[in-house]
Structure 1
Amino acid sequence: MRPKTSPAGRRRARLPIAATLALLAAGLGAVPAPAARADAPETVWLCRPGQAGDPCGGRADAPVDCFYVYPTISAQLTDNADLTPGPEQRFIAQQQAAPFGAACNVWAPVYRQSTLRGLQNSPGPARSAALDIAYDSLEGAWQDYLAHHNNGRGVVLIGHSQGSTMLRALIRNRIDGQPAQRQLVAAIVPGSNVLVRRGALTGGDFDSVPGCTEPGQFGCVIAYSAFAETPPPGTRYGVVPTEAGTSGTRGRFVFGPDYEVLCTDPSALTGRSDRTLRSAVAGQEVRAYTASCATGDGPHVLMIGGGGPGTGAPAATALPTVPNPTWGLHLWDVNLAQPDLVDIVAAQTRAYLNNEE
C-alpha cells in the first residue's frame, strides 16, 4: 500500500513564447472548468510518426518511441483546454520534442491540460480539479497508444512542467511495478517535484523506478528544476509539499518530512569528463553552463552557473525567472541540457536494446 500520500537594468535574454503567454495569462480572470466527458474521446495526436506536418519531425523508423507530454502552454480561455491543438502546442513540441526525433519516434497526444489561465488558481482546489481532468485525458491517450500503436517497443517518457506532473502520475498509476515497466527506457521529467524517500532513489512517488545515477542506465528517471541563484522563500520547486493534492489527486502523490525532491544532474549522465552542459540557446548549441545538484536541508534544485561574455550565451543569472524568482529558470529547464538529453536517450536506448537481446 502506498504511503500518504534580478536587479533592474540587468540584460535579459529574449523571452520564449511560453513566458509571453504566461505574462498575458496572469492578468486574466478565472472561468469555471468544463465538466469531464463521461465517454473517452478518440485520441488527437499532435505528433505521430509519419504524420504530415508533424511538429516533432514525424520519424517512424527508430527502434524505440518517445511519448511527449507538453507543459502548460494552452492560451484557451478556460481552466481546461479542449482537444483542439493550437499554434502554441505546435511551437513548444517543435522546440522541446522534435530534437529527440534523432533518437526515437515521437508520439505526443493533445490532452485537456490545465491552461495558462488556470495558473492563477495554483495551488488550490480549482487547480487541483483542473489537473485531475488533464490527467484523465492524458491517461486515456496513453492507454490508446499502448493498445494500438506501441507494438511492444521500448518507450522514453518526456515531459516538462505540467507535462512532467502528468507523467509522474502516469508512472505511479500505470507503469511502476506493472508490465509496462519492462518497456520503460527512461523518463525525463524536469520542472516537477519528483519525490523519493530521504537518502534513497525510490520509495516516494515510485516504488521501483529509480532516479538515474550513471551513464547508460535505463529504466530510470531524470528529474530536476533549474535555478541560477539560491531559491527564495516560497520557491515552487525543490521542496516537498506539506499537504496532499497540491498537484491534483489522481497521482495520490506522497508528501511530508519523510521525503525529498529528486535532483538528477544531466551533465553527470553524459559519460564525458567535461561536465559543461550542452545547451540549446536561440536555436544554437552552446557549451556555456555548468550544473550541480544542491543537497542538504535547502531546496533540492539544479544550480546553473556560467555563461556571459565570450561564451556565446547569456550569463545564467541573466536568464529570465518568469513569472518571478520562485520559479527559477523554469522556462529553460529543457533547453539548458537538451543536446545532452538527446545523447543520454540514445545511450539509454542502446543499453535497453542490448538487455532485450
Structure 2
Amino acid sequence: MRGALFAGLVLGLLVVGGSAAAEAPRPPANDYGREEAWLCRPGRSDACDIDLTATVVAANGALTRETWTRHPAPEVDCFYVYPTVSADTSPNSDMVPGPEERAVASRQLARFGQVCRIFAPLYRQITIPALRRMTAGETVPVDRDLAYGDIRDAWRHYLARENHGRGVILFGHSQGASVLKRLIQEEIDGKPAQARVVAAYLPGANILVPKGKDVGGDFKAMPLCRSRDQLGCVVSYVTFRERAPPPANSRFGRTTAEGMQVACANPAALGGGRATLNPVFGAKSMHPTAAPPLPWTTPQKPIDTPFVKVPGLISGICMSDDNGAYLAVRVDGDPADPRTDEISGDHLANGVVLPDWGLHSLDVPVAMGDLVELASDQAAAWRGKR
C-alpha cells in the first residue's frame, strides 16, 4: 500500500477497536533500564543526533543556510511517542529500530533538542503490514494493550529514574498521540504526575472536548493551551487544506459523540485567529506516503541540506462547524515571485488524493517551528514557576 491507508487508519484502529489479540501468553515486559529500549535518550549518539541544517527559501528565491544547535543544558525534558512507521511483518513490531523509526526521529523529534532532553522509547506498536491486512478484511491478532503497556512502562521508568523533578513535554503523533492520550487519562490527568507536565502536544489524533469548552472531554483536568505561558495544557489539531475541509466521513476532525467536538489549538495562534506558520519540510521528501515536493523555486536551484524552510508562505487557522474542528492550512504564494506557490503532502492511493486523510502526514512538519518555539516559551514559563 503506497502511502495513504496506514497513517490515519491507526487512529480508527486505536479509538474504535480493530482485531483483538489472539489468546496467547503476553510477551514479557520490556526493561527500560536498558539503553537498547530507547530510540533516543540523552548523553549518546543515536537517531536524534543528526544533521538538521535547513535551506531558507525566501519569497524572492534567495537561498540561505540555517544551522541548528542542540541546547547544551536544557531544563525540561521531552517524552516522545512516534507514529505508525514499523515495517515489521508481525502484528506488533519488535524492539529493534529500523530505518523507518530512525527517519521519523529526524522528521518530527530531533529539532526539540533545541529545548529539551529527549526521551523516545521504542515500543511494540501496531505495524504497517498489520494495518494493510486489516484494511483488506483480514482478522489480525494485533495487541493494542501491548503497545500501550510498553509506553506506560517507559513513562514509569522515566518518572522514577530520570525525571528528578524536571518539567516534561509529552509529544506524539497519530498512533503515538493516541497512545499518549490513554497514558494521560490513566496515569497523569488529575493525578500527582500532572504537576510535572509542562504541556502535551498531540497532533494527528481526535482529542475530544465539550463544544465551546477547553476541558471536560477526553481529559478532565488538563485543558487546551490558550496562551504561550500556560502550563499543564494540551495542544492538539488535525490538519487539512483550507480549500479541502474534512468530509463527512473523515477519520480526523469529526466525531459523533454527543455534545463533543474535536479539539483544535493552533500552536502559532493559541488565542485564535489566523497566523503565519513556521514549517520545516524535508528538502527532497515531504513524507514517505506523499508525493515528493515540487521545485522550491523556478527556475529550480540546487538544495544540498536535508531540510527546507519557507518563511511567510503558509498560514493556518482553526476552523469548526457543528461536527468538527481542524487546522485549516493555506498556501499564500505569489505567482509573481520565483518561490513555489504550492506544497505536496496529501495522502495518495494509486496516485489519487484521499480527502478524508487531509494533510495528516504534515501535521508536525507544517508547524514544526511553531511547536519548538512554543516548547521554548513554555519551558521558560516552567523555569519562572520554579
What band does the TM-score fall into relative to the shorter chain?
Answer: 0.7 to 0.9
Equivalents in 1 of 2:103, 2:270: separation in Å? 28
Task: Give the residue type in structure 1 aligned to 2:48.
Answer: P
Counting aligned pairs with the same residue, the percent is 39
Q: Which residue number corresponds to residue 156 of structure 1?
A: 169
Is residue 205–residue 236 contact of structure 2 (8 Å, CA) maintained in 1?
yes
User: 2:148 aligned with 1:131, yes or no?
Assistant: no
Is residue 32–residue 78 contact of structure 1 (8 Å, CA) maintained in 2?
no
Q: Which residue number corresponds to residue 130 of structure 2?
A: 118
**Alpha-carbon distance, 1:220 to partner:** 0.6
Is residue 168–residue 199 contact of structure 2 (8 Å, CA) maintained in 1?
yes
Q: Which residue number corresponds to residue 39 of structure 1?
A: 28
User: 2:213 aligned with 1:200, yes or no?
Assistant: yes
Q: State the secondary structure of the residue aligned to 1:89.
A: helix
Question: Counterparts in 2 of 1:90-129, with a 5 A limit?
Answer: 90-120=102-132, 121=134
**Alpha-carbon distance, 1:47 to partner:** 0.2
**Alpha-carbon distance, 1:185 to partner:** 0.4
Match of 2:376 among 343, 346, 351: 346
After superposition, give the CA deviation of every residue in 1:276-326 in whole Å (9 maximum; x if it has no partner): 10111221122211111111214311110014454845525x432345221
Count of residues paired in the alignment: 319
Equivalents in 1 of 2:206, 2:371: separation in Å? 19
Task: Give the residue type in structure 1 aligned to 2:120.
Answer: A
Match of 1:72 among 72, 84, 90: 84
Question: Counterparts in 2 of 1:254-293, with a 5 A limit?
Answer: 256-269=257-270, 275-281=275-281, 282=283, 283-287=307-311, 288-293=313-318
Question: Counterparts in 2 of 1:182-261, with a 5 A limit?
Answer: 182-228=195-241, 229-240=244-255, 242=256, 256-261=257-262
Equivalents in 2 of 1:49, 1:295: separation in Å? 40
**Alpha-carbon distance, 1:258 to partner:** 2.2
Question: Counterparts in 2 of 1:317-328, with a 5 A limit?
Answer: 318-323=344-349, 324-328=354-358
Equivalents in 1 of 2:227, 2:338: separation in Å? 28
* C-alpha RMSD of the superposition: 3.1
Q: Which residue number corresponds to residue 327 of structure 2?
A: 302
Task: Give the residue type in structure 1 aligned to 2:346.
Answer: P
Match of 2:342 among 307, 311, 315: 315
Inter-CA distance 195–320: structure 2 relative to 1 (3 Å threshold): same
After superposition, give the CA deviation of every residue in 1:192-223 in whole Å (9 maximum; x if it has no partner): 00111221111111111000112221211110
Equivalents in 1 of 2:45, 2:369: separation in Å? 25
Is residue 79–residue 130 contact of structure 1 (8 Å, CA) maintained in 2?
yes
Q: State the secondary structure of the residue aligned to 2:120.
A: strand
Equivalents in 1 of 2:75, 2:379: separation in Å? 8
TM-score under structure 2 length normalisation? 0.75
Equivalents in 2 of 1:100, 1:55: separation in Å? 9
Inter-CA distance 274–195: structure 2 relative to 1 (3 Å threshold): closer
Equivalents in 1 of 2:177, 2:190: separation in Å? 19
Q: State the secondary structure of the residue aligned to 2:157.
A: helix
Inter-CA distance 292–178: structure 2 relative to 1 (3 Å threshold): same
Is residue 286–residue 313 contact of structure 1 (8 Å, CA) maintained in 2?
no
Q: Which residue number corresponds to residue 298 of structure 2?
A: none
TM-score under structure 1 length normalisation? 0.81
Equivalents in 2 of 1:148, 1:314: separation in Å? 49
Is residue 74–residue 113 contact of structure 1 (8 Å, CA) maintained in 2?
yes
Equivalents in 2 of 1:123, 1:195: separation in Å? 29
**Alpha-carbon distance, 1:134 to partner:** 1.0
Greater alpha carbon shift after TM alignment, 204-213 vs 282-291: 282-291
Q: State the secondary structure of the residue aligned to 1:325.
A: coil
Equivalents in 2 of 1:118, 1:213: separation in Å? 38
Q: State the secondary structure of the residue aligned to 1:185.
A: strand
Query: Which structure's relative contact order is higher, taking Cα pairs within 8 Å and 6+ residues apart?
Result: 2
Greater Cα radius of gyration, structure 1 or 2: 2
**Alpha-carbon distance, 1:55 to partner:** 2.2
Equivalents in 2 of 1:354, 1:185: separation in Å? 12
Inter-CA distance 269–286: structure 2 relative to 1 (3 Å threshold): farther
**Alpha-carbon distance, 1:75 to partner:** 0.4
Inter-CA distance 322–50: structure 2 relative to 1 (3 Å threshold): farther
Task: Give the residue type in structure 2 aligned to 1:289.
Answer: I
Structure 1: state its 5+ residue gaps. 1-17, 243-255
Q: State the secondary structure of the residue aligned to 2:163.
A: coil
Equivalents in 1 of 2:153, 2:112: separation in Å? 23
User: 2:385 aligned with 1:355, yes or no?
Assistant: yes
**Alpha-carbon distance, 1:269 to partner:** 3.7
Inter-CA distance 291–36: structure 2 relative to 1 (3 Å threshold): farther
Structure 2: state its 5+ residue gaps. 11-17, 51-69, 284-306
After superposition, give the CA deviation of every residue in 1:250-277 in whole Å (9 maximum; x if it has no partner): xxxxxx2121110011220499x99210
Equivalents in 2 of 1:89, 1:144: separation in Å? 21
Is residue 186–residue 220 contact of structure 1 (8 Å, CA) maintained in 2?
yes
Task: Give the residue type in structure 2 aligned to 1:279.
Answer: P
